[in-house]
Amino acid sequence: MDNEPIISLRGIRNQFGAQVVHDNLDLDVWRGEVLGVVGGSGTGKSVLLRTIVGLLRPRAGSVFLFGQDALAATEEERAMIDRRTGVMFQDGALFSSLTVRENIEVPMRAIDGLTPDLRRALADLKISMSGLAWSAGDKYPSELSGGMRKRAGLARALALDPEIVFLDEPTAGLDPIGASAFDALIKALSRQLGLTVFLVTHDLDTLHATCDRIAVLAEKRVLVSGTMQDMLNVDHPWVHEYFHGPRARAAMAAKDRND
Amino acid sequence: MNGAASSLLQIEVSEQDTGSRIRLAGSLSVQTLSRLDAALRALPTRPTRLDLSAVTRLDTAGAWAIVMLQKRMTDAGSLAEIDGANRQQLDLLKTVAAALPEIPPKQVTRPGLSERLATVGRAVAGGVTFLMELTGYLGIFLSRLGRAVLHPREFRLTALVHHCQEVGLRAVPIVSLMAFLIGVVLAFQGSAQLRQFGAEVFVVDLIAISILRELGILLTSIIVAGRTASAFTAAIGSMKMREEIDAMRTLGIDPAMALFVPRILALLLMLPILGLIANVMGLLGGAIMSWIELGISPAMFRTRLIEGTGISHVIVGMVKAPVFAVIIGVVGCHAGMKVGNNAESLGRMTSNAVVTAIFAVIVADALFSIFFAQMEI
C-alpha cells in the first residue's frame, strides 16, 4: 500500500431538499485494498458511491481520486479518471440493445489502435474471467438471469483493467453458491490485478470473505472504519447489533470453517 | 495520452543461436496492447524467452497477449518461457491462461430451400396463431361481459367511468379539430374541382357523404387507435412486467374482468360518440369553407344537406363504430399481455399494438365497404 490514499473524501455534504444524507463525511481508501461500505437502509451508501464516481456533485467538500481533485477537474481530466475506474451497478446496467460482448467492447472503443479482432478477443476473455460461459457473449441482457447480468456488468467494469472498481451490492439477489463464487472472484481479481475495490454491500459473508477493511456509515458520516476485528470491538448500538446479530454470528462461523 | 502510452512500452528483440530473446519493459496494458500484440505476432517460431523483469504494470490485456504467444508457440511445436516475472504476474498469467475461452468453430450453414420454405411456413403459422389469439381475447371479453351482466357486483363501474373519461372525453379536442380540418379540406378541394363543371352546389353532397359514410368514423378510429391502443398496451404491459397480473391471479382477481372489460367497454361506448362529434365537426368545417369559398350560405347548406343526403349514410357510418372499438380494444389488451419481463418488449409491443390496430381498422373498413356495396345500401 502507498502512503497516499487512492480515494480521499473530505468534508462531503450531500443533501436532497431539506434531507441531509451526508454531513462532513471523511473517508480514505488505500491502493490495493478491498473496502466494504455498510450501513442501514437510507444511510446513503449508494449516494456515496455516486458521489465518488462523479454522478452526483456534493453540496460541499472535496473528492480526491488518484491524488487529483475530481470536482475541480476539467472534462478531459475527468475522462482520464473515468478511464481508470470501473463501476458495476446493482443490476448490471447493461445496454439492452447490445449483446454482452458488445457491452464489454463499449469502453474499449475509446482506446486507439485496438482492432475489432483484439477487442473481440479481449471481451471474450473478460466474459470467461467473470465466470460466464463463453456462449453468453452473443446473448442480449434480457436473455440473462440476474446473476449472469451482474457478472456481465462486472466484466464491463473491468474491460479496461481499471485501478479502482466500484461495486454496488455485488451479491444482492444471488443464490448462496453464486454469491460465494462472486466473492472469490472479486478477491482473486483484486489480488492479481492490484485492484482497489470499493464495494457497497449488505452481505455479511461478503464482508468476511473479501473485505480488508470495513467502513460503517451512520449518523451522516463514516462512523468507524477498520478491519473486521476492529468492528467487533466497536461500542455503538447499531454497529454492535450489525456485527453481533444472529446473521453475523452465522457468517463468522462459516468464515472460521473455511479458514 | 496514447502517444505517452506507446512510449511506456519498450520491446527489445534479440535473435540468438538458441532462440529469440525478448525484453519487455514498461507497461503491458490495454493501452499498449495493439503494439505489443503486433510485435509478438511477428516473432518467428523458435524457442523464445520473454524477460518481464522490467515490466512495471501488467494487466489482463498484456497477460492475454503473452498467453496467446505461448499458445501459438506450443501449437507450432516450440516453446515460449517467461523470466523475471514476480509471483503476482505469474498468478495473473495463470488465471488468464485458465480463463482463455475455448471457442468452438462456428458452423455456418447456408439456408437451403427447405429452410427458406420453413421460414415462410413459420411466418404464416405465426400469423394464424396471432389471429386465433385475438379471437380468443375477443371470446374472453365477451364471456366476462356476460358474466358482468349476470353478476353485476363483480363489475367495476368506477374503472369504466375512469376509462370513459380517458378514452372519450380527453379525445374530444383532438378528434374535433381533426374532423373540422378534414371538412375544410374536402370543401376546398371539392369546390376547386366542381367549379369547372359549374356544379358547385354538389360540394355539399360530397362533404356530407364522404364524412358521414367513411371519413368521420375511420379517421376517428385511427386517432383513437393511436391514442388508446398504445395506452392500453402500456398500462397492461407495465403491470405484466412488474408481475402485477400474476399477483392479481394469486389474489383471486380475474385480470380479464378487472382490466379488459372496463377498457374495451369504455371504447365501445365512447367511439360512437366520438364518431358523432367528428361528423358534426366535419360538416361544420365543410359548411364554413363552402360559405367562404363558394358563397353557399349556411341555410342553403342545411337545405341541400337534408334534401340530398339520406339518413342511411349516417347509419352506415355509425354501424362500424362498435366493431372498430372492439378491434382497437382487443388488439391493445392482447399486446399488453404479450409483454415480457423487460422494458424493451414493452416498447416493442406498444408500437406493434398501434400499427396492428390501425391496420386492422382499415381492413375492417374495406370489408364493410364491400359488404355495403354488395347489399346496395
Q: What would the 3-class secondary structure string for B296-310 be? A: CCHHHHHHHHHHHCC
* Higher pLDDT, residue B77 or A37: A37
Burial, A56: exposed, middle or buried (Cβ in 10 Å; 0-12, 13-18, 19+)? middle
Record: contact A158-B60, CB cut-off 8 A: yes
Record: contact B61-A122, CB cut-off 8 A: yes
Record: contact A128-B100, CB cut-off 8 A: yes
- Looking at the complex, does the CB of residue A142 fall below 8 Å from at least one CB of chain B? yes
Q: Which residues of B touch A158 (CB under 8 A)?
A: 60
Written as one letter, the residue type at B377 is I
Domain that holds residue A128: 32-43+85-258
Q: How far apart are CA A122 and CA A103, in angstroms?
A: 12
Q: Which residues of A touch B1 (CB under 8 A)?
A: 80
Of B34, B68, B95, the CB nearest to A188: B95
Asked, for residue A3, whether it belongs to a domain, the answer is no
Of A96, A97, A118, the CB nearest to B37: A118
Per-residue confidence (pLDDT) for residue A32, from 0 to 100? 84
Question: What are the phi and psi torsion angles at A41 (to 5°)?
Answer: -65, 135
Which residues make beta-bridge pairs with B82? Answer: B50
Q: What is the mean pLDDT of residues A73-96?
A: 85
Query: CB–CB of A99/A72 below 8 Å?
Result: no
pTM of the model as a whole: 0.70
Residue B4 has pLDDT above 60, yes or no: no
Q: List the grid coordinates of B355.
A: 400499427
- In chain A the first and final C-alpha atoms are separated, in Å, by 24
Confidence of residue A3 (pLDDT cuts 50, 70, 90): low
Residue B104 has pLDDT above 70, yes or no: no
For B343, residues 6+ apart whose C-beta sits below 8 A from its C-beta are: A96, B241
Pick the CATH number of B2-99 from 3.90.660.10, 3.30.300.130, 3.30.750.24, 3.40.50.150: 3.30.750.24
Per-residue confidence (pLDDT) for residue B185, from 0 to 100? 94
- Here the ipTM equals 0.79
Asked, for residue A10, whether it belongs to a domain, the answer is no
Domain span(s) for CATH 3.30.750.24 in chain B: 2-99
- What's the pLDDT tens digit per position in A200-223? 988 888 888 888 888 888 888 888
Size of interface A-B (CB pairs under 8 A): 73
Q: Which residues of A touch B36 (CB under 8 A)?
A: none
Where would I find the beta strands (DSSP E) of chain A? 7-16, 19-29, 34-39, 60-65, 68-69, 85-88, 164-168, 196-200, 213-218, 221-226
- Looking at the complex, does the CB of residue A76 fall below 8 Å from at least one CB of chain B? no
Q: Which residues of B touch A97 (CB under 8 A)?
A: 344
Query: CB–CB of A117/A101 below 8 Å?
Result: no
Q: List the grid coordinates of B77.
A: 511445436
Q: Which residues of B touch A93 (CB under 8 A)?
A: none
pLDDT mean across residues, chain B: 88
Choose among A32, A92, A22: nearest CA to A57.
A22
Question: What are the phi and psi torsion angles at A72 (to 5°)?
Answer: -95, 0
- Looking at the complex, does the CB of residue B342 fall below 8 Å from at least one CB of chain A? yes
Asked, for residue A234, whether it belongs to a domain, the answer is yes
Asked, for residue A190, whether it belongs to a domain, the answer is yes
Per-residue confidence (pLDDT) for residue A106, from 0 to 100? 87
Record: contact B29-A108, CB cut-off 8 A: no
Residue B226 has pLDDT above 90, yes or no: yes
Compute CA distances B34 → A91, A118, B13, B59, whole Å.
32, 8, 17, 14
Sign of the CA dihedral with B160 first, then B164, B165, and B166 last: positive
Q: How many CB atoms lie within 10 A of CB A36?
A: 25
Q: Which of residues 14-73 of A touch B (CB under 8 A)?
A: none
Burial, B135: exposed, middle or buried (Cβ in 10 Å; 0-12, 13-18, 19+)? exposed
* Higher pLDDT, residue A227 or B270: B270
Record: contact B30-A192, CB cut-off 8 A: no
Confidence of residue B201 (pLDDT cuts 50, 70, 90): confident
- What's the pLDDT tens digit per position in A168-190? 888 887 888 888 888 888 888 88
CATH number where A228 lies: 3.40.50.300
Number of domains in chain A: 1
Asked, for residue A155, whether it belongs to a domain, the answer is yes
Record: contact B88-A127, CB cut-off 8 A: no
Per-residue confidence (pLDDT) for residue B1, from 0 to 100? 40
Distance from CA of A32 to the nearest CA of B (A): 13
